[in-house]
Amino acid sequence: MICALDVGNTNIVLGVFDDDYTLKYSWRIATDASKTEDELYVIIKSFFKDKEISFDFFKGVVISSVVPGMIFALKLLSKKYFGLEPIVVSNAINTGLVVPEPYTSKLGADRIVDIVGAKVSNYLPAIVVDFGTATTFDYVDENMIYKGGVICPGINISADALYQKAAQLPRVEIERVDSSLGMDTITQMQAGLFYGFIGQFEAIINSMKKEIGKDVKVVLTGGLAKLLSKNSKQIDIIDEELTLKGIIEIYKLNK
């Protein structure tokens, strides 16, 4: 078995793969950078116990994290309880992705695994969109050459900003709404967030396609991807397992 840990700013996705790289189980854990390797072990052990899985069953561990403060604890977790040196996703290992100049930043692990997941799913060329804490848009051609992208606030960040910065506005649930004419504060906020989210998404996609100069697939992943599914004609594919597909492929490339 192989254990894959995908650490986002909000959640950690824990995936268990068989030796043939088939996803067998997955769970979500709230991201908490203060947790030690021992605390993480207790949480993961409870998931494994329910499925009668032992830490001794694993022959590989792969970690993708956008939270630098958690990488140290996860490495210790792998060495101490799995007895394995983990593969950590970064630009320093083999990913198959070419990031040419003039791009000067290091592409985040979350975006790398999404792109690799799109590659192994035969989605490329594509604009890969991940709705996480931030919303990221990445265009990659059929040769796995990175062509650029966009980073903007996720819908939950926008909702939190309204609640924190406007004294009389409440915290609201993010929901799909059928009318832009809300009849109270809560439904008006929900309408603003929902239709603003769709407008932002479609404006960015339209702008990217115009610059690309051709129609390419738009591939969505992330917890809020389904929120858009019935309200935008720009979506070609929703793949909730895209990230884990990418992580396990990178494990295969580097094991």
The residues that are catalytic are: 110
Closest C-alpha among 152, 146, 145, 103 to residue 130: 152
Longest dimension (CA), the chain: 58
Please tell me whether residue 60 adopts helix, strand or coil conformation. Answer: strand
For the beta sheet containing 146-153, the strands, ordered from the edge strand earlier in sequence to the opposite edge, are: 146-153, 134-140, 126-131, 217-221, 237-238
Map 102-158 to HEC letters.
Answer: CCCCCCCHHHHHHHHHHHHCCCCCEEEEEECCEEEEEEECCCCEEEEEEEEECHHHH
Q: In sequence order, what are the beta bridge partners of 63?
A: 5, 88
Closest C-alpha among 199, 213, 192, 83 to residue 147: 213
Per DSSP, 98 falls in state B
Please identify which residue in the block is written with the tokens 């909000």.
Answer: 10
The pairing of strands 217-221 and 11-17 is: unpaired
Cα angle 17-19-23, degrees, rounded to a multiple of 5: 25
Closest C-alpha among 92, 99, 90, 110 to residue 31: 110
